[in-house]
Chain A
Amino acid sequence: MNVLHRLKSWFSFGKATPAYPFAALFKKFQNILKANNDALELIADMGAKLSGDYVFDRQYILSSSAELSDQVYRLIVDLNTLTSRKYLELFNRYERIHQSIEEELAGKWILPQGDAVIAYEAMGQGLHELVGNKNANLADVKNVLYLPTPDGFAITTSAFRIFLEQNGLYQMIQQRLQQYADEAELQEAQTPQSIESIAEEIQDAIRNGQIPESLQREIADAVRALQQSKRSSGLFFAVRSSAWGEDAEYSFAGQYQTLLNVASDRLLDAYRSVLASAYNPSALVYRSRKGFQQHEVAMAVGCQLMIEAVASGVLYTMDPSADERDVAVVSATWGLGAPLVEGMVAVDTYTIDRQPPFQLRSMHVVRKPTMLMLSPDGGTETRPVSPELENKGCLSSVQLQRLVEMGMLIERFFKRPQDIEWALDADGKFFILQTRPLKIRPDSGGPTLDIAEIAKRHPVRMQDRGIVVQRGVATGRVFLLEDPDDLEGVPHACILVTHHTSPRLARVMRRIHGIITDVGSQTGHMATIAREFRIPCVVNTGMATRIFKTGEEITLDATQNAVYEGRVEELLYYEFTEEDVFEETYEYRLLRRLLKRISPLNLVDPHESNFRPADCKTYHDIIRFVHEKAVEEIVDLENSRVGSSGQARELVMDIPLGLCVIDIGGGVRPQADEKRIGRRDIVSVPMNAFLDGLETSGMWDSEPVSVDFGSFMSSMTRTMSPALSDPRNAGRNLAVITDAYFNLSLKLGYHYNIIDAYVSDQVNDNTAYFRFLGGVTDMTRRSRRAGFIGEVLERFNFRVEIRGDLVIGRIKKCPRKIMEQKLWMLGSLVAYTRQLDVQMHEDADMEKHKQSFCQRILARLQEESQSNSLQPITHNP
């Protein structure tokens, strides 16, 4: 159904029904809360599938996307019913996102939007789709590992898209490729003739295409910037392909074109030529054999300044052919490396230990009569090698050590043995020209791995505890991290063992081999980051910090979820030889692309100007927007109908909370009074836990904090959402409860909390959501308080998001007792922070308050656990 049709049916539906009874509207509100939770669950679920721990198929992607689209659509309908159609624009937003998801699922050719030209040093991580793998890998080597690489820039797949669009080639290529695919299927064997002619037609069209002026300008700007930094006008480039899929699990080695020593005024031709090579016949066949869909083609190009190489070659960080795998192999020749890569010349070969100090094991030096050199006017030429160098090895053992050390750093980062092209310049400096995964074949005779055998030699230290967040195998020495703030001491290549997950670990992610934690969730921020870096990671083991000691050597197999004593090389190598890396499968790529349209949250703060339907870019944005507006609306509705019904009941408490309770299913004792109820009447599990924390933690400081004049003024000028600034709201707080659920909109002083929680014996349904916003003082102090709250929430294993003075914390799937503890803590936290921002004079106060709060809470929980009403907080399975 298209959007117009939907809107029409919507309007005609609306005309006949002017106003709904409150009960009906309330039902809608309930639906929204439920659909909101369901949709967020589904998103988290889809995200969790990227961990590699699950086997999922295309059907899963289709059905979960469809289900999510459905949920989101229903949310929009319900919100518009609730608000008398205030947010019809959401339908347009929905339609746009839905459409793009459908296109992805249908396998349409969607090239990324983004900069057309990006310099290597400006390339952030994760730009693989925009700059291609080869460029992205090289950028990581440069910007993350700080190893020398040539300067230069990438012309992105976005530029590729612009080029195709402006030349009208999009359609034409699609048609030809479809024709090719059809024919291939029809005849089962590909007829070389038809491939040749189709390839030729596409390539011609690209070579004769016009490069859009804007792109020409951007390329010229990038060249000019390099000319300025190099103080030279005569620059020469290596122009290399960097296509989707290239240099990932599939090397595409030799499939696409590389042009060497291209003068800057010849760059555009070289660019077109490399683009065209995306459609050469062998690349077409290669792609279809390797399971690439034809629509997954996009060519970015790397333009790197030529290195005047004295010697060049290739480093394999692991010898793919040797019986003994603990060596790296270096091949080398004089001059440029192209003849070596193409297998045109005899080369020196060295084998070197993979472990420090990287000793030379063997060398085989041959006669190298010729070498490829740069021609002064561009291009390359073959020249004779001088007689004294002809029979000499290209590299000294010291140079080899340096090279292999660089290689091992790269291997660790990319989690695979690497095939690295390098060049050595006249100053004796090594440059990494490109790096890609090296495929290691298992020993002949098939896999010989035997877990039972391994366990005999390497005792199992831990098995099947916790959740695998990122699979993979890591070996290293344990480093027990006691204070997640103190990351300075974390050594390179260790396996980090820590009590809880923290997104702050991102800082050391690059240098560690693996992570094991006592507590934590699969959907936390740290989990996301571990996946980004592909660090084998197991969280929530409940015991790791008690079992492991700093310095002991272990092997973490986060695929089987086991930890072995010592270094189990077989496991590591077995992982290296696995046929397919999960992350390189089509389904993984598809799900990841879909999630980009689903899960990022751009609408965070309802007070920001972008908090409106027109700025909803993802499903998550829509869900968030609907939830916010639904709660706002129901608070408004409640206020406008005070006294009109007995449904909302006042909760009488020792603390002046001004709280109204609406029971929508078993949250209040049946015998309770119809107008006023007391604490004893509440039977809602999460509500009681929260109120207990609020009342009994001793955190509610009844002494009013003196508000200085500046704070007072700033409170007068704060803009509140309409529902909150309504004077009738003063002292009116709302809780919607059932036996296992509560949604509390709480305005205390000048700040605003939402706590939404479901707690029952069904562990998987349990969730708690905490949102905190506002405050009486200036932004700096409010941000300090937000920082404090964020840290506390993190300390209690919530997943935390902070923007300005807005804090969101989430936790889920803990057993009931633990959830009750968390809510108890939230109650205390709300009480503690009630007027705290007034006291936040300096940054150090944040830490002071965190210490004092956490100490008091932990002590209380300890006491409580001894009296058996709550379990100790560290006992989090």
Chain B
Amino acid sequence: METERKFQILILDDEPIVCKRLKPALEKAGYEAETFTQSAMALHRITEKEFDVVITDLKMEGLDGMAFLTEVKKRYPKTEVIVITGFATMDTARQSYQKGVFDFVAKPFKLKEILDVVEKAIAKRTATEKGNVP
């Protein structure tokens, strides 16, 4: 167990409480999580490191979530992106899915909900990886 690679998750939300709550929950579920409250910092971080899953809010000051996730998908098409937002409109949902977002979770959400979605995203990613390796 110990030798297995831990899946890497990046969380971007401008409200610190969301990061504060998600990080320990994800760590407890066996993932490694990094949190950011500023999109610029998160954007910098993805130039240094590839994450398995990115969880991002949509509406933030500065670079917004949509632009951030676009950049993530451009750089790492296999990274699964989960959008969390309090302003879920059909339009933003459609737009996110077009950009290849894995799933869309409306705030407030239960910890269990997001953990389930992350688990599915990881499963999908592992499946893709296996498919690519002969």
Contacts and interface: CB of A to CB of B under 8 A. Distances in A.
Interface of A: 49, 53-60, 63, 291, 446-447, 449-453, 464, 559-561, 574, 578-580, 582, 585-587
Contacts of B18: 55, 57
Given A57-B13, A57-B17, A447-B28, A452 B110 contact: no
A453 B107 contact: no
Contact of A58 (B17, B24, B109): B17
Given A60-B86, A447-B28, A449-B28, 5 more contacts: A54-B108, A56-B17, A58-B15, A452-B1, A464-B112
A53 B111 contact: yes
Given A49-B108, A586-B17, A57 B86 contact: yes
B34 to A, nearest CB: 13
Given A55-B108, A57-B108, A63-B86, A580 B28 contact: no
B7 to A, nearest CB: 13
B17 A579 contact: no
A107 to B, nearest CB: 15
A447 B30 CA distance: 9
B77 interface: no
B66 interface: no
A823 to B, nearest CB: 29
Interface of B: 1, 13, 15-18, 20-25, 27-30, 86, 107-112, 114
A56 B110 CA distance: 9
Contacts of B114: 55
B1 A450 contact: yes
A813 to B, nearest CB: 15
B25 to A, nearest CB: 8
A59 B86 CA distance: 7
B108 A56 contact: yes
A60 B20 contact: no
Given A60-B107, A451-B29, A561-B112, A55 B24 contact: no
Nearest to B17: A587
Contacts of A60: 86, 107-108
Contact of A582 (B1, B16, B21, B110): B21
Nearest to B32: A446
A192 B110 CA distance: 42
23 contacts: A49-B108, A54-B108, A55-B17, A55-B18, A55-B111, A56-B17, A56-B107, A56-B108, A57-B17, A57-B18, A57-B86, A57-B107, A58-B17, A59-B15, A59-B107, A60-B86, A60-B107, A60-B108, A449-B30, A561-B112, A574-B28, A579-B24, A580-B24
Given A59-B86, A60-B108, A579-B20, A451 B28 contact: yes
Contacts of A49: 108
A790 to B, nearest CB: 32
Nearest to B87: A59
A585 B19 CA distance: 12
Contacts of B1: 450, 452-453
Given A53-B111, A54-B108, A58-B15, A578 B24 contact: yes
A717 B18 CA distance: 59
Contacts of A585: 17, 20
Contacts of B17: 55-58, 585-587
A63 B108 CA distance: 11
A159 to B, nearest CB: 32
Contacts of B13: 57
Contacts of B15: 57-59
The 9 residue pairs across chains A and B that have the minimum distance between CB atoms: A56-B108, A57-B15, A59-B86, A54-B108, A55-B21, A587-B17, A60-B108, A447-B27, A578-B24
B39 to A, nearest CB: 16
A580 B108 CA distance: 19
A57 B20 CA distance: 11
A653 B25 CA distance: 58
A641 to B, nearest CB: 45
Given A55-B109, A56-B108, A57-B15, A450 B30 contact: yes
B46 to A, nearest CB: 22
Contacts of A574: 28
B109 A54 contact: yes
Contacts of B110: 53-55
A447 B114 CA distance: 20
A576 B22 CA distance: 17
Contact of B22 (A55, A291, A446, A464): A55
Q: Which of A59, A560, A574, A579 has the most CB of B within 10 A?
A: A59
Nearest to A582: B21
A574 B15 CA distance: 25
Nearest to A575: B28
A291 B15 CA distance: 12
Given A582-B21, A585-B20, A587-B17, A560 B107 contact: no
A291 B111 contact: no
Contacts of B107: 55-57, 59-60
A468 to B, nearest CB: 8
Contacts of A580: 20, 24
Contacts of A582: 21
Nearest to B16: A291
Nearest to B85: A59
A520 to B, nearest CB: 18
Residue with the greatest number of chain B CB neighbours at <10 A, chosen from A57, A452, A579, A586:
A57
Listed residue (B23, B108, B109) with the most chain A CB atoms within 10 angstroms of its CB: B108
A609 B24 CA distance: 51
A761 B25 CA distance: 33
A291 B108 CA distance: 22
A450 B112 CA distance: 17
A732 B18 CA distance: 55
A575 to B, nearest CB: 9
A96 B20 CA distance: 34
A463 to B, nearest CB: 11
A449 B114 CA distance: 19
A586 B23 CA distance: 17
B117 to A, nearest CB: 12
B96 to A, nearest CB: 18
A54 B84 CA distance: 13
A60 B13 CA distance: 14
A54 B28 CA distance: 16
B124 to A, nearest CB: 20
Contacts of A291: 16
Nearest to B115: A560
Nearest to A588: B17
A136 B79 CA distance: 49
Contacts of A447: 27-28
Nearest to A51: B110
Most chain-A CB neighbours within 10 Å: which of B15, B28, B110? B28
Contacts of B27: 446-447, 449
A57 B17 CA distance: 6
